[in-house]
Amino acid sequence: MHFTFDDGYSAFVAWLKTLLPIVALGLLSTIFLFSGKVDVTQSLPYAERNIAEIIREQRITQPYFTGIASNGTEIALSAAYASPQVENAHILEITDLSVVLRSTSDRMVQVTAGRGALDSARQTAQISTDVHIAALPDFWVTTEALDMNFNQGFISATGGFQGVTALGAITAGEMHLQMTADDQQIVFLNDVRLVYSPKLVD
């Protein structure tokens, strides 16, 4: 390569324009040649974590669901947290929940519990842990497990329970509560025992 210039300064500038890019390329080459190997797994914060654990940590804070049963019963469900199951995304694990069922005549049943599993595909729920049922103003029940069908406005306790009615304290092996178009029907089955308390009756 040969250049011809009229003065020394112009020649110096021309050589700099040629040499500087070459020097820059050389420096870049040494960076890649002498740099250590990069472990990509170290740059990923979840590379060593179980994927199922990450999915379980995904949750909704204070979810609220509403719907109407086939007989017109209004249903509202709220909870502290809800998270999808790893095995079945249609099922939500819910914590500290409250379910309110209200008939068209404004008769209300409220269910509270510590835990539950809501199946959005089947419109059902299995509720457990310190379950309380209140059909105001004269019916209270406590039990450990409860099944609910939101499409039919139906509640079933098959593991035994203790309750208070307008007639007195009651225990039984099963209880079925069906919301109707304008009220609710409660049926007791299997070893039903009622301790009559006249003071509770108007």
Q: Write down the pLDDT at residue 120.
A: 86
Domain segments of the chain as ranges: 59-200
Across 5-18, average pLDDT = 53
| Whether the Cβ atoms of residue 188 and residue 181 lie closer than 8 Å to each other | no
Checking 65-68 for CB contacts under 8 A at 24+ apart, the result is 65/118, 67/123, 67/150
Residue 3 pLDDT class (50, 70, 90 cuts): very low
What is the DSSP track for 4-55? --SSHHHHHHHHHHHHHHHHHHHHHHHHHHHSPPP-GGGG-TTTTS-HHHHH
Q: Is the pLDDT at 35 greater than 50, yes or no?
A: no
> What is the three-class DSSP state of 198?
helix
Q: Write down the pLDDT at residue 117.
A: 94
Across 156-176, average pLDDT = 85
Q: Is the pLDDT at 177 greater than 80, yes or no?
A: yes
Please tell me the distance from the alpha carbon of residue 138 to that of residue 117, in angstroms, as a whole number. Answer: 28
Report which of residues 14 and 185 the model is more confident about: 185
* Alpha-carbon distances of 156 from 115, 145, 149, rounded to whole Å: 16, 9, 9
For tokens 């009615």, name the residue. Answer: 165
Closest by alpha carbon to 162, among 183, 184, 192?
A: 192
Proportion of the chain above pLDDT 90, given as a percent: 24
Q: What is the reported pTM?
A: 0.66
Report which of residues 5 and 156 the model is more confident about: 156
Mean pLDDT is lowest, of 76-80, 155-159, 166-170, 180-184, for 180-184
Tokens encoding 47: 């590379």
Q: What is the CB-side half-sphere exposure of residue 35 using CA atoms within 13 A?
A: 9
**Which CATH number applies to 59-200?**
2.60.450.10
